[in-house]
Amino acid sequence: MDLLQQQLQFSLSVTGPICLMLFLGIYFRRSQLIDDHFIEVASRLVFKVTLPALLFLSIANSSHDVTTGGSLVLYGVASNFAFFLLITLAVKCYFKRAADQGVIIQGAFRGNSAIIGLALITNAYGSDGLAQAALYVAALTLLFNVQAVFTLTPKGSQSGMKALIIVVKTLTKNPLIIAILLGLGFSQLNLTLPDIAGTAGQYFADMTLPLALICGGGSLDIRQLNHDKAPAWSATAFKLLACPILITFGAWVCGFRGAELGIIYLCSSTPSAAASYVMARAMGGNATLAANIIVLTTLLSLLTTTLGVFVLSSLGLI
C-alpha cells in the first residue's frame, strides 16, 4: 500500500502543478484579471524570451552530455512520423469533409511538447531531464511544422511548396531552436556566462512555465465545444490514447527505460498545441474544430497523463 501511495504521489507531483496553473489561468480570465491582450503579449514574451532562456540555461549549465541522446531523437522523429502516416490513413478513411481531415490529423499528432511537455519533464526529472529533452523537443518541433503544412495544404494547391519554404525560413529564425543550438555551443566549448547575465537569465527562465501555463488556461474557451463534437472527440482519442500508447510501447520494445522512456511518454501524452489553431485558420481549415480539439485534449490530458505516469511508474519503467 505504501508503494502504491508513493507511485500515486509521484504521478500527481508531475501533473498536479500543471493542472493547478491551467485552472488558475481559466479563473484569472473569467475574473478579468487577465484578458486577451495580456495573453497575446505574454505568450509572445514566453516564445521569444523566457522559454529560449530556459532552454539555453538548462543545456549550457547541465552536467548531462545532451549530445549523447542521438538514439532518443532518432526514435522520436521516426515514431512520430510513423504515427502521422497511420493517423492520416485512418482519418482519410473515416472522415470525408476535406476541411476537417487536415485539422483532425494535425490535432492528433501535433503535441504541445515545447510548453506542457517541458513542464511535465521538469516536474518529473528536474533540470537534467529538461536538458536531455531539449534536443528531442527541438526535433519534434521541426517535424510537426513540416507535417502540419503538408496535411493542411488543400489537395491540388500550388501553394504547398511556398508554404513549406515559409515554414523553413520561420524555423531557421525560431528562438527555441536558436537557444538550443547556442546552449549546445556553450556546453561543448565549456563556456560560462558572467554571473550577472546568468542570474538575469535565470529570472527569465523561472517565469516561463507559470506564465505559459496561465496563458494556456486563459486561452481555453469551453463554449467552443458545442460544435463538431464527433471529429473533436475522435481527434482527442487519437492524441491522448493512440499516440502515447503506440509511441511509448514502441519505445519500450526498442529498449528505452527510465528517464528516456519517461521523456518519450510525457511528450507523446501532451495535448494538441495551441499553434494548431493558428495554422488551421491560416490555411483554410476548420478553425472551430481545431479550437475544440485544443480545449478537449488540454483538459483531458491532465487525467490521461496522470494515469499513464502512474502505470509506467508502477511497472518500474520510468
Instruction: Report the pLDDT value the prediction gives residue 157, as an integer from 0 to 100.
Output: 52
Confidence of residue 77 (pLDDT cuts 50, 70, 90): very high
Distance CA 273, CA 260 (A): 22
Instruction: Report the pLDDT value the prediction gives residue 76, as an integer from 0 to 100.
Output: 95
Q: Cell digits for 218?
A: 486563459
DSSP annotation of 33 reads S
pLDDT at 5 over 80: no
Distance CA 123, CA 127 (A): 9
Give the distance, in angstroms, between the CA of residue 300 and the centroid of all CA atoms in the same chain.
15
Instruction: Report the pLDDT value the prediction gives residue 178, as an integer from 0 to 100.
Output: 86
Q: Contact 76/264 with Cβ under 8 angstroms?
A: yes
Instruction: Report the pLDDT value the prediction gives residue 161, as an integer from 0 to 100.
Output: 63
Task: Report the chain's mean pLDDT, rounded to a whole number.
Answer: 87
Query: Within a 13 Å sphere around the CA of 7, how many CA atoms are in the beta-carbon half?
Result: 16
Instruction: Report the pLDDT value the prediction gives residue 120, as an integer from 0 to 100.
Output: 93
Q: Cell digits for 302?
A: 491532465
pLDDT tens readout for residues 133-161 = 888 988 898 888 888 878 887 665 555 56
Number of Cβ atoms within 10 Å of the Cβ of 4: 10
Task: Enumerate residues 6+ apart whose C-beta is below 8 A from 138.
Answer: 176, 177, 180
Q: Three-state SS string across 46-95, please?
A: HHHHHHHHHHHHHHHCCCCCHHHCHHHHHHHHHHHHHHHHHHHHHHHHHC
- Taking the alpha carbons at both ends of the chain, their separation in whole angstroms is 19
pTM recorded for the entire structure: 0.86
Which whole-number Å values give the CA distances from 163 to 53, 106, 157, 309, in the listed order?
29, 16, 10, 38
Phi, psi of 272 (to 5 degrees): -65, 140
Q: Contact 236/294 with Cβ under 8 angstroms?
A: no
Instruction: Report the pLDDT value the prediction gives residue 4, as an integer from 0 to 100.
Output: 72
Confidence of residue 84 (pLDDT cuts 50, 70, 90): very high
Sketch out the chain's domains with CATH numbers: 2-314 (1.20.1530.20)
Torsional sign, CA 9, 15, 19, 20: positive
Instruction: Report the pLDDT value the prediction gives residue 47, as an integer from 0 to 100.
Output: 86
pLDDT tens readout for residues 206-242 = 999 899 999 988 888 777 666 668 899 999 999 999 9
pLDDT tens readout for residues 234-284 = 999 999 999 999 999 999 999 999 999 999 999 999 999 888 887 787 777
Phi, psi of 111 (to 5 degrees): -85, 160
Which whole-number Å values give the CA distances from 30 to 23, 34, 146, 211, 254, in the listed order?
11, 8, 35, 17, 46
Which range in 24-28, 137-141, 176-180 is most confidently predicted, on average pLDDT?
24-28
